[in-house]
Amino acid sequence: MDIEGYAKRGILRNDKGLKEKLADRILDIKNISRKHALEIAGAVIVEANATLNPEGELLSPTTSGVTMGEFGVGSRGLGDFYTHEKIAEVIGRTSAVVDSSHLDDSGVVRAGGQYVVVTIDGMHSRLSDFPFLAGFHVARAALRDIYVMGARPVAMLSDIHVADDGDVAKIFDHIAGITTVSELTGIPLITGSTLRIGGDMVIGERMTGGVGAVGIARSLTARIQAMPGDVIIMTEGAGGGTISTTALYYGKHSIVDETINLKFIDACEALLEAGLIEKIHAMTDVTNGGVRGDAKEIARTAGVKLIFEEEKLRALVNRKVLEMLDKLEIDYLGVSLDALLIIAPPEHASEILSCIWKNGVAAD
């Protein structure tokens, strides 16, 4: 709970009982005396008043009058895609090889004769109570974003924030999830940051954070390189954080086990080892927004139309995951499947498929 935000809203509506109400909210979460809660509430109100109407150009935030939830930011729908486009406009064109205007999975710069690929992924917000799972899936997601640019990941970094009343062990559990992926892939977690969410001003146990990754590439498989006449190949997928969250909160806990795998990474490593990356025009991971969302962004970025054979797509979704989604009436084409999407010239399709199949990953 954001107690500073609560205080500011109370001040704006001239709530005479604000201090008592805020103390009640604090006592809902913290096991302290009422005297202590009133002291905290009083201090919060003083600080909230001091920053309610700051003076100076740099201290005046821009407001739109539309909330994140109303606009669908983070929900991987039209509002979210539109926000990404506007972020790219704010940043503007840069000297990077691939920047935010490309709406790609990672950014790319050239250094020392090589491509340096950088990405950051946020953990699924509903996995706050499952820190190991959150760490595993966000680490895997960050590595996916490096691999799909045709790069080999060389390092990871993490950022974790836990609210004031969260158990300290959440940090270690989360890091354990990240380092599980690190140990299985040989890609080290080398640095990070650990903070409280909002310092003293956010109470409760909520956790959030992200994992970044850096990779090196000789050639790129950016979305913008998709060409008319290319074929589309997709690997099998069982989902990640989104599917885990769906399974957890609908009481289908056994489905979570289906998401714990590194098949995506196995497929990418096989393609790198076989030297097939140079024969691929573009790659992406089917994540939040699903096949539909990725197709929309690729079509807009590369100026191409994407045509899929749905019966082949459906067959590549983990059977147990697909059964859950169908039962819950969730469209599998609009959610993260943790599948690899490859766009390549038709003459290389057989070689690419054979390479993936030989490494125990289904694809079509």
The rounded Cα 64 to chain-centroid distance in angstroms is 24
- Using DSSP's 3-state secondary structure scheme, residue 220 falls into coil
Residue 79 has what pLDDT?
83
Residue 143 has what pLDDT?
97
How far apart CA 245 and CA 103 sit, in angstroms, is: 26
Is the model more confident about 223 or about 275? 275
Residue 243 has what pLDDT?
96
Res 178 pLDDT > 80? yes
Note the pLDDT tens digit of each residue in 66-111.
Answer: 998 888 887 767 788 788 888 888 888 899 998 888 877 789 999 9
Do 344 and 280 touch, CB atoms closer than 8 A?
Answer: yes
Domains observed in the chain: 3-59 (no CATH), 63-92 (no CATH), 94-220 (3.30.1330.10), 221-364 (3.90.650.10)
How far apart CA 258 and CA 311 sit, in angstroms, is: 21
Phi, psi of 142 (to 5 degrees): -65, -40
Residues 6+ apart with CB under 8 A from 231: 343, 344, 345, 346, 349
> Does the reported pTM lie above 0.85?
yes
How far apart CA 68 and CA 358 sit, in angstroms, is: 45
Note the pLDDT tens digit of each residue in 228-280.
Answer: 999 999 999 999 999 999 999 999 999 999 999 999 999 999 999 999 999 99
How many Cβ atoms sit within 10 Å of the Cβ of residue 49? 12
Do 197 and 208 touch, CB atoms closer than 8 A?
Answer: yes
Mean pLDDT of 8-14: 95
How far apart CA 140 and CA 156 sit, in angstroms, is: 10
State the chain's mean pLDDT as an integer: 93
Note the pLDDT tens digit of each residue in 298-322.
Answer: 998 899 999 999 999 999 999 999 9
Res 132 pLDDT > 90? yes
Residue 184 has what pLDDT?
97
Res 35 pLDDT > 90? yes
Residue 60 is given by DSSP the state: -
Residue 293 has what pLDDT?
86
Do 207 and 128 touch, CB atoms closer than 8 A?
Answer: yes
